[in-house]
Structure 1
Amino acid sequence: MTGPTIGTLRVNGATLHYEVRGRGPLLLLIPGGTGGAAAFDGIADDLAAEYTVATYDPRGMSGSTLDDPEAEQSVAEHADDALRILDLLSPCEPARVFGSSSGAIAALHLLTAHPERVERLVAHEPPVVEVLPDASEHRALVARVRATFHAEGLMPAMAVFAAGLKKEGAAPTGPKAATELPPQAAARAERTMANLPYFVGRIVPGFMSYTPDIHRLEALSDRLVLACGQDSRGELPYRPAAFLAEHLGTELRHFPGGHTGLTTHPTEFGEALRKEFRGGH
């Protein structure tokens, strides 16, 4: 299969790098964390057999540059970026949308702000911790991460963040031993590391303080699928999706792997995603 078509899109305060594959109705994939468009390399080609698959680097990540690198980041602005991609690639038809982690938070805002542009949204583990009964604890975690980042630097802040996300009572995991990666995976890992300071310093505080409009989600629940990793039970990113699914009276879907099942189980993950866009069970 030929590679993706690469484009750039000028948006408010940034220039977005985006990639398009395949043909058919539009499927927009919104990445989370630090992965950017490359996070979908394992599933995009397969999905492109049925859809025009578009993905992009969120503003400030990888190839999407900010006019002001120090600008605070808001969920609403990131959702507006997704809207601009939809308007460019599917101006007349609503699209299918998938968002993962922080990308799922942006996707939830896109759905509530512009429901006419979204036919169906699959939101995988959006860490909207403000909906949880113990939200104040997670607010304190974000404050600790930010304080540690400014006082001690990136890796100590990441350690605090990782400890806050894991299952209660789980043993802390040490750094993984270095392994020889294939060139493409090595390049992706290098980009991920380069994106980490921005993620910890800008995305984590801006996104984990976001509260979705639950009343709007109730009205739109027929086009929202909340999903979690089947190996994520008990971890912090799992809980908001499970809470929202129960509140909305919808079935929580379980995808292969954990929070990063997209990269650890790409074939099975892509198939589960395809099934949801065909209408679920």
Structure 2
Amino acid sequence: MTTTTGSLRVDDADLHYELRGHGPLVVLVGAPMDARAFEPLADLLATDHTVLTTDPRGINRSRVDDRERDSTPELRADDLHRLIRHVDAGPAAVLGSSGGAVSALALVQAHPEVVRTAIAHEPPLNELLEDRAELRVKTDEIIAIHRTGDPVAAFRKFLEVADIVLPDEVVEQMLGGERPAQDVADDEYQHNRMLRPTTRWLPDLDALRGSPTRVLVGLGEDSTGQLCERTSRALAAALGTGPTPFPGGHIGFAEDPVAFEPRLRAVLGG
């Protein structure tokens, strides 16, 4: 599969993006996950779709002018709008996962004309939950721990808050020891500039309910009991719908793209 890479200059950033295939446009986006997490799924879809992936602003190859400026859902939505216009293949079906799901919802609110279907897969919309105040405190604790220079402890706290269980050896393998400088920089940007504005974003529910865009809330079948199951169900209930199930857990698209791809096709076709 041929992949075309490019960089789009916006007001305050250079956005790295990748294009594959030909056909109706599908955008796959995460936050803080970059384009690499979507490569296997993008290759599967590109047999009959144009697939756009990108590194969100401030992460990996998408460089920002000011790393002290927060990466808000509104800014990331504007980036997606500009990218979709730039590749000139829309309107798009957008699969946003985690923080990317929040970006996708903000995109629908601001620019529904460029999105025909938006799938918000497990958006961490903590403000929709009754224990939102407690979750704000816990999020601040994650950030504070990370700022002490202990990314392993910060990630363990993140997993605790997210109600995700991973073996200690997996956590150590992911974050322990010497890490590439870019991974460290991305981790710092995520904690300092992305985590708080993403989890504290409150969607305009009236705008989403009244949008001409088809808005679906994706939920992993293996995410039972996790924080993002609660946020996803809360959003779906607020929109007057039910969650749309997908294989796997919070990052099922990356863990098993072969299982995820036919389900995504079925949902887009529906």
TM-score of the aligned structures, taking structure 2 as reference length: 0.91
Match status 1:158 vs 2:155: yes
Give me the CA root mean square deviation.
2.3
Match for 2:43: what amino acid? D
Equivalents in 2 of 1:40, 1:252: separation in Å?
Answer: 22
Tell me, which stretches of 5 or more residues in structure 1 are unaligned?
Answer: 180-188
Equivalents in 1 of 2:30, 2:181: separation in Å?
Answer: 17
Of 160, 165, 174, which aligns to 2:168? 174
Hey, what does 2:177 align to over in structure 1?
none
Whether the 8 Å contact between 1:221 and 1:248 is mirrored in structure 2 is no
Q: Per-residue CA shift, 1:210-232, capped at 9, x if unaligned? A: 11111111213860110111010
Whether the 8 Å contact between 2:112 and 2:212 is mirrored in structure 1 is no
Match status 1:200 vs 2:191: yes
- 1:274 is displaced (CA, Å) by 1.2
Hey, what does 1:260 align to over in structure 2?
251
SS in 2 for 1:234: coil
TM-score of the aligned structures, taking structure 1 as reference length: 0.88
Equivalents in 1 of 2:31, 2:69: separation in Å?
Answer: 19
- 1:31 is displaced (CA, Å) by 1.7
Whether the 8 Å contact between 1:94 and 1:116 is mirrored in structure 2 is yes
Equivalents in 2 of 1:222, 1:102: separation in Å?
Answer: 19
- Cα 1:196–1:98, aligned 2, differ >3 Å: closer, same or farther? same
Moved more, 215-224 or 154-163: 215-224
- 1:193 is displaced (CA, Å) by 5.4
Of 181, 193, 202, which aligns to 1:211? 202
Whether the 8 Å contact between 1:242 and 1:252 is mirrored in structure 2 is yes
Q: Per-residue CA shift, 1:155-190, capped at 9, x if unaligned? A: 2222211110016xx6x74132878xxxxxxxxx98
- 1:85 is displaced (CA, Å) by 0.5
Match for 1:83: what amino acid? H
Hey, what does 1:40 align to over in structure 2?
38
Equivalents in 1 of 2:229, 2:120: separation in Å?
Answer: 11
Equivalents in 1 of 2:154, 2:253: separation in Å?
Answer: 24
Moved more, 192-201 or 81-90: 192-201
Match for 1:69: what amino acid? R
Moved more, 39-48 or 219-228: 219-228
